[in-house]
Amino acid sequence: MSLLKKIFFLSLILLSSGILFFINYKSETYLIGWDNLFPEFNFKENITRTLFSSWQHYRGLGALDNFSHAANLIHDLYRFFISLFFPISFVRWFFVFSLYFLGGLGQYLLLKKIIKNKFISILSALFYLLNFYIIQQFFLPFEPFVIHFSALPWLFLSLLNFLQKKEKKD
């Protein structure tokens, strides 16, 4: 029965993320946000641009990089990995909604550690996922926000674990 309780709270997060995904996903369409970078169209070119990112030769006569494309290396490699399993039009959809789910999961685990009450933790995680500002941001996604949304609870959780245990793995 204890396993059922654990799965129940996690399934609420997965269910809410899944419902939003299936409501919004249109097959064979591309999710376009604020940026105009689509590494999934040509991974080789985009990873090369990332590795040699201090000078962007494809912008007019060339320019110093002021958009920090070098920070996209892990992002581009992750998308390349996703593209091995899914069609190109699905890559950004999967990326955005997997980070949406991971953000809610991280919020749940963080508050479960701090408050030690699963019911309040799941309510907080659902609020983190379903408040109007977050829904608005994911409707027209800006990928630095999406990554920040997902990473923030996990960063706080790892910081809290490190401060309590003082182990290198945290």
pLDDT digits (tens, 9 = 90+) for 93-124: 999 999 999 999 999 999 999 998 888 999 99
Quick one: pLDDT at residue 75? 82
Q: Is residue 113 part of a domain?
A: yes
**CA dist 125 → 56, 105, 116, 118 (Å):** 40, 7, 14, 10
Question: Among residues 154, 164, 80, which one has the least CA distance to residue 110?
Answer: 154
Looking at the structure of the chain, the number of domains it has is: 1
Q: Is residue 120 part of a domain?
A: yes
Q: Is residue 70 part of a domain?
A: no
Rounded to whole angstroms, the Cα distance separating 75 from 68 reads 12
Encode pLDDT of 142-160 as tens digits: 888 888 999 999 999 999 9
User: Percentage of the chain surpassing pLDDT 90?
Assistant: 28
Give the position of tokens 């997060």.
13
Rounded to whole angstroms, the Cα distance separating 3 from 155 reads 26
CA 120 to chain centre: 23
Amino acid identity of residue 42, one-letter, is N
Q: Is residue 47 part of a domain?
A: no
- Give the H or E element holding residue 64: strand 63-64
Residue 24: pLDDT over 70? yes
Q: Is residue 79 part of a domain?
A: no
Q: Which long-range contacts (CB under 8 A, 24 or more apart) does 77-82 make?
A: 77/47, 79/39, 79/40, 79/43, 80/39, 80/43, 80/47
Q: Is residue 170 part of a domain?
A: no
Q: Is residue 129 part of a domain?
A: yes
Q: Is residue 64 part of a domain?
A: no
User: Percentage of the chain surpassing pLDDT 70?
Assistant: 87
Domain of 139 in residue numbering reads as: 2-37+88-165
- Tokens at 80, concatenated: 């390349």
